Amino acid sequence: MFIKKAAATAVGTAVFPTIVPSSVFGKNAPSNKIHIGQIGCGRIARDHDMAETIKYDKAQFMAVCDVDSKRLADGKKYVDEYYTKKTGKKSYSNAKMYENYIDMLSDNEIDAVIISTPDHWHAEPAIRAALAKKDIYLQKPTSLTVEEGRLLSDVVRRQNVILQVGTQQRSSPQFRIAAELVRNGRIGKLHTVKIGLPGDPSGPEASEMPVPKNLNYDMWLGSTPEVYYTEIRVHPQNNYGRPGWLRCEQFGAGMITGWGQHHFDSAAWGMDTEYTGPVSVEAIAQFPKSGLWDVHGDFMVKAEYENGITMYTSGGYPNGIRYEGTDGWIFVSRGNYVASTSDPVAQGNNAKALDASDPKILTSEIGENEIHLYKSDNQHGNWLNCIESRKEPISPVEIGHRTCTVCLISHIAMKIPGRLEWDPKLEKFKNSELANSMLRRPQRAPYGTDYIQLSQ
């Protein structure tokens, strides 16, 4: 395990961890690895976060945590069986199990945590992990309110820990190439960005069900209000399909934060707006009139930026990002990539990963003295490399917060008619106190960021 690194004197200062020399135990000795705790053992953890991280020899999963004891046991089984198969030794791994992530954070054997929880359980454990000096891989959205996102970014940078946001499109080459071409003027002056992003369909009514004995439902609800249990509000009990909480505003905001943070993050890369935000936002959206699931359906968002760029987002566009300039356009998408077996978008509809008004644009080479963007070929691998080097990862917390803010103020605009003026420096609306009141949520004690002792 890594001996704990000394605090850096400033954000970005290189601090090198002391590692037990490989000459003592061999390069694959457990003591020579980054010891990881997994918080949340559901769909995205199993299909994506754990799968993408465990394959690296420098990582060693030491513990798993979940409020559902069935998923907790499955998480341990996933880890232990992987290492047994890899090493041929049944006793190589005996992952610890935690129901409460706070207990995991007190484990000095853990160097870093991956947070793959439902959206309403992102900011709070990430802040507590930073206070415990653990490095963090955090699934998006970074937060569910602008206020808690700002707190998260401030704490992470103050604590000088490595936080990688799970906006893995940054590690897909086509998104970097598209952004570099745009930033270097290959389509002239950029003036419009069109983002294709679907909504979610409404769902059925659902009656109250007994809480499964294996689920700590009170903790699962966390800082959100008490509501009765029904399976399609939470997650499937017998499989790892797409969970119902994704379609409940109590626990998220729908696709505007679900895939929205991915596409807004990639767009900001090409727009050169990663550390700022729009100056205005307005939106229309359809919301279900009945049923348990209440996140937005079809929608359109218009956001204007100080640099003259207008960004439109709607399910009416092809899924992906289209940059439009005075001399042409570039379109970029995930192509046939999927992060999970239950991704909500049919991949056949956006299989072309990179396209342009003129094919010659895509073969244009970026010169030595032109803008070259951060290059990574794997989001989780980049995080592990940065834990070792103490360099900033490709998706750092402040960029994550700024991108998530675009998602959240777009969602607020869906609720309030008219053009909302946004101050990206103060992170407040200029012309609506109602909108400003939605920059935070009430929190149900003892859960939530309001109840964290920041001096710990």
Domain 22-169 has CATH 3.40.50.1000: no
End-to-end CA distance of the chain: 23
Query: Given this model, what pLDDT does residue 344 score?
Result: 54
Residue 236's alpha-carbon distances to 140, 183, 230, 323, in angstroms, are 21, 44, 10, 39
Per-residue model confidence as pLDDT tens digits over 160-184:
999 999 999 999 999 999 999 999 9
The confidence band for 345, taking pLDDT boundaries of 50, 70 and 90, is low
Residue 394's alpha-carbon distances to 10, 23, 344, 351, 381, in angstroms, are 19, 31, 25, 25, 11
Residue 403 exposure: Cα atoms within 13 Å on the Cβ side = 30
CATH 3.30.360.10 segments of the chain: 172-201+252-373+397-451
- The answer to whether 123 touches 152, Cβ cutoff 8 Å, is yes
Report, as an integer, the average pLDDT of 75-99: 95
Report, as an integer, the average pLDDT of 224-235: 97
User: pTM score, two decimals?
Assistant: 0.90
Is the bond leading into 201 cis (omega within 30 degrees of zero)? no
Per-residue model confidence as pLDDT tens digits over 9-47:
333 333 333 333 333 334 445 568 999 999 999 999 999
Q: Which of 113-127, 192-206, 414-428 has the lowest mean pLDDT?
A: 192-206
* The CATH number of the domain covering residues in 172-201+252-373+397-451: 3.30.360.10
Nearest 5°: phi and psi at 438?
-95, 5
Report, as an integer, the average pLDDT of 362-383: 97
- Comparison of pLDDT for 418 and 9, the residue scoring more: 418
- Comparison of pLDDT for 340 and 255, the residue scoring more: 255
Query: Given this model, what pLDDT does residue 183 score?
Result: 98
Proportion of the chain in helix, strand, coil states, percent, rounded to 5: 35, 15, 50
Report, as an integer, the average pLDDT of 69-75: 98
